[in-house]
Amino acid sequence: MITTPMPQPTLFSAPAPERVLPLELGSSTHTAADLVMSLAMGRYHPLAIERDGDAVARGYIERTPTGLHIHLIELDGTPLIRLTAGTDQDAIFALGKRMRELTR
């Protein structure tokens, strides 16, 4: 159960469908890159990392004029990623690294 309150999207972002990163698919870096490169400007996506169909982490990912914002926490409330105004490369690195750590 998530015990940390989830941040709200910025005033300039519109809600968008949830994005899911499955831990079972090949390279975590490629999976993260596919997600990051497909994000539209001004869209707020709930985000989940799943193992065998069950979420192990939840949060959001959002692309704004200032950059990418990711807030991701494990279900017990442990923070995984807090990225503010990051580049595509920052987001891909952070997501790929955390996905690799969660598969161990």
Average pLDDT, the chain: 88
Average pLDDT of the residues in 2-25: 70
Average pLDDT over residues 26-50: 92
* C-alpha atoms less than 13 angstroms from C-alpha of 92 in its C-beta half-sphere: 14
Per-residue confidence (pLDDT) for residue 8, from 0 to 100: 53
For residue 24, pLDDT beyond 60: yes
Alpha carbon of 63 to those of 8, 34, 50, 66: distances in Å?
A: 14, 14, 22, 8
